[in-house]
Each structure stands twice: as structure tokens, then as C-alpha cells.
Amino acid sequence: LSPGAKMGLFTFIKVMMILFNLAIFLGGAALLGVGIWVVVDGDSFFKIFGAISTSLLQVVNVSYFLIVIGAILLIIGFLGCCGAQKESKCLLMLFFTVVLIIFIAEVAAAVVALVYTGLAETLLTATVTPLLKDKFGKEPSLTQIWNVTMNELHCCGLNNYTDLTDSPWLTKHGSYPAPCCSGQQPSMQSLCSSSLLPCFLQGCFDQLLTEIRKNSGVVGGVAAGIAALEIASMVVAMYLYCRLDEK
């Protein structure tokens, strides 16, 4: 290519880099804002979005999840946008490094999730089960998230209903939530007596795996799309970084 064509290509890629990362920055700001909204006024958020939020998202603490993701996107967007705009090799390299670390972490997490499902279950059990026993029925946001999750997935606890034994909910109400009762309609909000147990509903972990497998095509497509964007952004960042040496 002629010097003019190379400069034109450099300018075009630079502008695309700025616009792309500006969109990431704004998206991160939006997610961060929603996360803070959930922390400050979670009830109004769930009233508006609870019915259409996905089952998988409801299992995690939505507010902190959104805050973390939003903050990461803000950092990535800032580094990419400012690095391209100011033609800063330092910011471009930081952008490349951050995206590379995230990409490696995602690949590692995917491998662990696919190959070591048992390990993932053990780790979740070790962290989530004590949380349910200590906080379910005591912390409103966590209780609401799990009640909605158990209703939608027709499951009880992470592994089974015993995850809720000795929980503040059981201590306060003297009974398990409706989804934990054999034969109880998931749409019913009333409690059922603990005498109706044992419960034959499986835990939410197995149900989540079933949901993920049912939507594996969508999950795989989204994951592949994200990976492609990350690889493309790293290639573009490195191209701009190397081209700055030639200017």
C-alpha cells in the first residue's frame, strides 16, 4: 500500500476503535448504574424486570454482578477509547493486556465448567450452601432472587431442600418455601408445611445445567461472538500500537 493508503487505513481503524470502545464505555456506565440502582432500591428493579430476567442471572447477586461487569467495561472502554484518540502506546498496551487477561480467564472458566462440572458443583456448594443457611429469609434481595429462581426452575436449594434447613426463613416461618414441597404448584406463593416433606424436587444446580444444555447453541454462539470481539479488539490495538512506531 502507498503511504497515503496506509495512513487512511490507520485513521479508519483508529476511528472505529474509538467508536467501538466508546460504546463499551457507555454500556459499562449503564450496567454500573443499574447495579447501583439494584443496591439502593432492589425492590423497584425486580418489580420492573423480575418477570423477564433470565433464570441464570437470578442465581447470582444481580447488583454486584452488574457493578463488577460495568466497572470492567468502563475500564476497557476508557483505555481503548483514550488510547486510540491520544495515540498512546501505554494505554493501548494496557487495553491489550486487560482484554487478554479477561480472554484467558474466560477460556479457563469455560474449560473448568465443561470438564470439571463436579468441581464447579463442589465449589458452589461450599460457598452458596452456607450463604443460604445464613441469609435466606434474612437478606431480602437474596431471598427474593432465590424464591424467583426456585419457582421458575421448579427446584429447591442448590442441591436439595436441606440447603434451607436451619435457615432464617425456616426459623421464622416454620416451613419451607412453596417450591420445596412435593406436588406444590410453582406459581403458588403460599408456604407449605414441613410435614409434607421429604421433597422430591432436585436442587437448582442440576436444573441450571439442564437449562444451559437446552440453550447450549445460544450460549455457545454468544460466547463465540464475545471471544471473536475480544480477539479482534486485541488485533486492532496491537496494529495501532505497532503503527505508532512507524509514524
Question: Per-residue pLDDT tens for 185-221?
Answer: 444 344 454 444 445 467 888 777 777 677 667 767 8
Question: Which residues, other chains included, contact 185 with Cβ-Cβ below 8 Å and sequence gap of 6+?
Answer: 178
In this prediction, residue 117 carries a pLDDT of: 63
In this prediction, residue 35 carries a pLDDT of: 78
Name the 3-class secondary structure at 155.
coil
In this prediction, residue 62 carries a pLDDT of: 64
> Where in the chain are the domains?
3-114
State the cell numbers at 32. 454500573
- DSSP notation for 210-229: HHHHHTHHHHHHHHHHHHHH
* C-alpha distance from residue 103 to each of 31, 57, 72, 98, 226 (Å): 20, 21, 13, 9, 9
DSSP annotation of 190:
S
In this prediction, residue 75 carries a pLDDT of: 92
Q: What is the mean pLDDT of the chain?
A: 77
Q: How confident is the model at residue 104 (pLDDT cuts 50, 70, 90)?
A: very high
pLDDT tens by residue, 43-96? 665 565 554 444 444 444 567 777 888 899 999 999 999 999 998 999 999 999
Taking residues 151-177, report their average pLDDT.
81
